[in-house]
Amino acid sequence: MEYYSTNGKFGSVSLRQAVVKGLAPDGGLFMPDYIEKFDHKFFEGIGGMSFPEISFEVARKFFGGDIDSGHLKKIVYDTLDFDCPVVHISDNIYSLELFHGPTMAFKDVGARFMARLLEYFVRNDSKRLNVLVATSGDTGSAVANGFLGVEGIHVYVLYPEGRVSKIQESQFTTLGRNITALEINGSFDDCQRLVKSAFSDENLNSKISLTSANSINVARFLPQSFYYFNAYARLCSDVWKSSPDTGRIIFSVPSGNFGNLTAGLFAAQMGLPVKHFIAANNENDVVCDYLKTGNYKPRASVRTIANAMDVGDPSNFARILDLYGNSWSAISRDISGYRYPDDMIRRTIGEVFSKYGYLTDPHGACACKALYDYYDEHKELRNKMEIAGVFLETAHPAKFPDTVESVVGKGKIPLPERLKTFMSGKRQVTELGADYNGFRDYLYESVK
Ligand SMILES: *Cc1c(COP(=O)(O)O)cnc(C)c1O
């Protein structure tokens, strides 16, 4: 399949080019040329299929023309060595838990898939490929763990000294092997500047192969459609116990850059029976405003307790516009927006825990609250058991101990084994200054 740019100025490229480049040369985002629908039979049988089985079928629709079936199957099965279960909360409301991967956040799915796809593409290259990633926390851990042990690729994670939480830091500084953590004596902006300078340094790029693992990469964003299908399959097999025509889902997605929600829109275009999408925002609500008014006005982000959603100009919004041919009326028919300030997010974490015994993280809490509010406005849907409300729980609550424990009480969230293991690992970091020449010389030395 070919990929075109949302800016339209740039001719189509192959999957390999789209994945290695990340961003189109005209600054647009890559989109697959067409979206193939599943037939009715697929949905009739989906309840009997496992998560990796379903995901392989979805992956084939996008990547089947570019990768042989055996390799693609291996990539999908290696990526999904953990589950994304659907957990009942109350009435017809469910949580789709996306935090069972290595770093306990949903970005694991996309990062692991992308790592394995890149590995496939560079398998015959003689030169090692080097991934540079600047992080203020969670992206670094998902990318580092996604690429851990992947042949032919080395990852450099640049992070600002003293500004990343201990849990986050431990997830990329204790790995070793093909992951190098670079502690930069500067800010996150310095880290980003170093990475950008390296990508635009022609001399450097002529000697060593560099790429980014940016979240707008098609190989990170498209695989996120897998778990929407799995949610539907598990409702078919465990809840509705019936044929697909009767069941439909309302998905509520905590959104920052809107990659996760856009992957859901792709799933719906492939025929997944979705009734409606809800975009749940914190105070960074430019898309909510757009859905209400039709005006898109990006602005600087503000800090909130759901910090992975602190985005003032969501990059994947361009993909949503493209998918709907820029039609505000079509977009606002399919997606509703809700926004919550920090105090409402805290209150929701407390209420959901006390009423239903379920602990949400600050991001999942936004999505959960939005789903309940949507039902309040659409009471006719509330008691229809063939309509399920599913909110995406994008991170484990233990990753946000300060917020969550301030609401539900100290000691209520024991640190999961997986996070404990990171915390007790041996810290291996290289300290560097914030000047570009030093960073460049370090790369030359290190790659040699
Ligand atoms: C990245 C992230 C989000 C936002 O996802 P987008 O695809 O950027 O909209 C939500 N929750 C958590 C925990 C995240 O890490």
> What structural domains and CATH numbers belong to the chain?
81-102+221-415 (3.40.50.1100), 108-217+422-447 (3.40.50.1100)
325-336 residue pLDDT tens: 999 999 999 999
Q: How confident is the model at residue 102 (pLDDT cuts 50, 70, 90)?
A: very high
Q: How distant, in Å, are the alpha carbons of 165, 411, 414, 415, 441 from that of 405?
A: 16, 7, 10, 12, 44
pLDDT value at residue 440: 97
**168 C-beta closer than 6 A to ligand 1:** no
Q: How far apart are CA 388 and CA 370, in angstroms?
A: 14
**252 C-beta closer than 6 A to ligand 1:** no
pLDDT value at residue 243: 64
Mean pLDDT along residues 144-150: 96
**49 C-beta closer than 6 A to ligand 1:** no
Mean pLDDT along residues 86-112: 96
258-317 residue pLDDT tens: 999 999 999 999 999 999 999 999 999 999 999 999 999 999 889 999 998 999 999 999
| Selection from 419, 446, 434 nearest residue 169 by Cα | 419
CB 76 within 8 A of CB 67: no
pLDDT value at residue 244: 62
Strand order in the sheet with 335-339: 86-90, 93-97, 387-393, 248-254, 274-281, 335-339
Is the pLDDT confidence value at 392 over 90?
Answer: yes
**254 C-beta closer than 6 A to ligand 1:** yes
Mean pLDDT along residues 25-32: 91
The region of weakest confidence among 132-141, 239-248, 428-437 is: 239-248
pLDDT value at residue 413: 85
**154 C-beta closer than 6 A to ligand 1:** no
Is the pLDDT confidence value at 245 over 70?
Answer: no
**Spacing, Cα 380 to ligand 1 middle (Å):** 30
pLDDT value at residue 246: 67
Nearest ligand 1 atom to the CA of 262 is 7
Nearest ligand 1 atom to the CA of 258 is 9
Q: How far apart are CA 61 and CA 334, in angstroms?
A: 23
**309 C-beta closer than 6 A to ligand 1:** yes
Mean pLDDT along residues 210-233: 93
DSSP letter at 310 equals -
The region of weakest confidence among 76-90, 238-252, 352-366 is: 238-252
Q: Choose one of 363, 368, 396, 399 to mutate for the ligand 1 pocket test, by most ligand atoms within 8 angstroms of C-beta.
A: 363
Nearest ligand 1 atom to the CA of 260 is 7
pLDDT value at residue 164: 84
**138 C-beta closer than 6 A to ligand 1:** yes
Backbone phi, psi, residue 48, to 5°? -95, 5
Is the pLDDT confidence value at 139 over 90?
Answer: no
For the chain, what percent of residues have pLDDT higher than 70?
A: 99
48 class by beta-carbon count within 10 Å (0-12 exposed, 13-18 middle, 19+ buried): exposed
Q: How confident is the model at residue 136 (pLDDT cuts 50, 70, 90)?
A: confident
Q: Choose one of 309, 399, 404 to mutate for the ligand 1 pocket test, by most ligand atoms within 8 angstroms of C-beta.
A: 309
pLDDT value at residue 112: 96
pLDDT value at residue 347: 98
Mean pLDDT value across the chain: 94
Is the pLDDT confidence value at 90 over 70?
Answer: yes
The pTM of this model reads: 0.94
Question: H helices within 247-285, ranges in order?
Answer: 259-269
